[in-house]
């Protein structure tokens, strides 16, 4: 781990400050440091400390990319990493994130551990999303969390049909459908009533959003299948695909959506003693009483 990139949440002054601090520290440790062009400028980091690159290519040929920001920055960095196989390490600037588990204060001590080869690498499933229109592939995209088909603002609802490996599963009328990886189970899917899925499980989660049929419950299906979602031809003319909650794409009636596990995985770097459940506990306040009246 000597050639390290940094991707920064530019709109956050603390992230810029932390980027400068980390770049200097890494440089001092003898590492080669690469930051984004925008961070170089905004954080005023000298070229002798860190070279700069476009965010889209920064991850190529790096040993590690450190993400300084929040979970949204991590997701964006994941797009930059793409299929390069470069591992990511997330440092949050405010509250602990599901993806950015290292606090600002622990940044340098954690990095010292990493440079001393004390860390573990966890592989996270990526979903490959393909849109087919009239049998023609018009988009292919990798997501870490989820892809969502959602009715547009003008539409009353979405009508779609799901099949897996050519086996019909169900048709539904709903506001939308979330197709999530285990990593995505704690993102949008959780808001829509989905369960928490441990990130190492080989499964894909289907969670309908506000389904008309009340028994249309979240379902976890085998991770090796090919999921096909077909939009009803009689559906509204106003629907949209979202990729990791950040990129949108308009859909048309009759569009087909293919989702399967990518052969590529995201490599996430963690502290050697990191515990997945402690992140859950802190994010969801499991230790505290967030709830009902206590009669005792």
101-160 positions binding a second copy, by CB under 8 A:
145, 150, 152-154, 156
Q: Does 237 bind a second copy (CB under 8 A)?
A: no
Q: Does 273 bind a second copy (CB under 8 A)?
A: no
Is 253 among the residues known to form the active site?
no
Nearest-approach distance from CB 164 to a second copy, in angstroms? 8
- Quote the CA–CA distance of 101 and 98 in Å, as a whole number: 6
- Quote the CA–CA distance of 181 and 261 in Å, as a whole number: 9
Which residues ranging from 19 to 78 are in contact with a second copy (CB under 8 A)?
A: 70-72, 75
Q: Are 185 and 205 in contact (CB under 8 A)?
A: yes
Closer CB to a second copy, residue 52 or residue 203?
203
Closer CB to a second copy, residue 87 or residue 97?
97
Distance between terminal CA atoms of the chain?
Answer: 54
Nearest-approach distance from CB 44 to a second copy, in angstroms? 25
- Choice from 210, 226, 258, 271 touching a second copy (CB under 8 A): 210
- Choice from 43, 45, 97, 115 touching a second copy (CB under 8 A): 97
Q: Whose CA is closest to 139, among 290, 16, 252?
A: 252
- Choice from 106, 139, 226, 280 touching a second copy (CB under 8 A): 280
Q: Does 82 bind a second copy (CB under 8 A)?
A: no
Strands 51-53 and 32-36: parallel
| Cβ partners under 8 Å of residue 217, min gap 6 | none
- Quote the CA–CA distance of 78 and 72 in Å, as a whole number: 10
Nearest-approach distance from CB 273 to a second copy, in angstroms? 11
- Quote the CA–CA distance of 46 and 58 in Å, as a whole number: 17
- Choice from 1, 16, 80, 98 touching a second copy (CB under 8 A): 98
Q: Identify the residue whose tokens are 């997701």.
A: 75
Q: Are 225 and 238 in contact (CB under 8 A)?
A: no
Q: Does 175 bind a second copy (CB under 8 A)?
A: yes
* Active-site choice (3, 63, 71, 244): 71
- Choice from 56, 198, 237, 272 touching a second copy (CB under 8 A): 198
User: Which sequence positions are flagged as catalytic?
Assistant: 71
């Amino acid at each position: 781990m000597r050639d390290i990139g940094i991707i920064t949440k530019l709109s956050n002054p603390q992230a810029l400050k932390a980027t400068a601090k980390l770049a200097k520290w890494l440089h001092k440790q003898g590492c080669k440091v690469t930051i984004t062009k925008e961070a170089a400028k905004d954080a005023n980091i000298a070229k002798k400390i860190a070279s700069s690159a476009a965010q889209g290519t920064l991850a190529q040929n790096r040993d590690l990319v450190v993400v300084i920001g929040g979970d949204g920055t991590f997701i964006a960095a994941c797009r930059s990493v793409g299929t390069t196989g470069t591992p990511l390490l997330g440092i949050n600037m405010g509250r602990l994130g599901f993806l950015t588990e290292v606090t600002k204060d622990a940044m340098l001590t954690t990095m010292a551990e990493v440079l001393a080869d004390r860390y573990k690498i966890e592989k996270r499933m990526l979903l490959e999303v393909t849109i087919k229109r009239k049998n023609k592939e018009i988009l292919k995209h990798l997501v870490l969390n989820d892809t969502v088909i959602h009715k547009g603002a003008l539409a009353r609802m979405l009508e779609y049909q799901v099949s897996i490996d050519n086996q019909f599963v169900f048709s539904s009328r709903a506001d939308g459908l979330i197709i999530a990886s285990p990593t995505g189970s704690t993102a949008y899917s959780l808001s829509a009533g989905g369960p928490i899925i441990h990130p190492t499980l080989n499964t894909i989660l289907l969670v309908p959003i506000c389904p008309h049929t009340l028994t249309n419950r979240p379902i976890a299906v085998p991770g090796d299948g090919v999921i096909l979602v077909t939009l009803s031809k009689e559906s509204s003319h106003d629907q949209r695909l979202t990729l990791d909650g950040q990129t949108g794409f308009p859909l048309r009636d009759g569009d087909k959506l293919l989702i399967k596990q990518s052969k590529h995985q995201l490599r996430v770097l963690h502290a050697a003693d990191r515990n997945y459940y402690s992140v859950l506990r802190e994010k969801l306040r499991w230790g505290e009483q967030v709830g009902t009246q206590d009669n005792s």
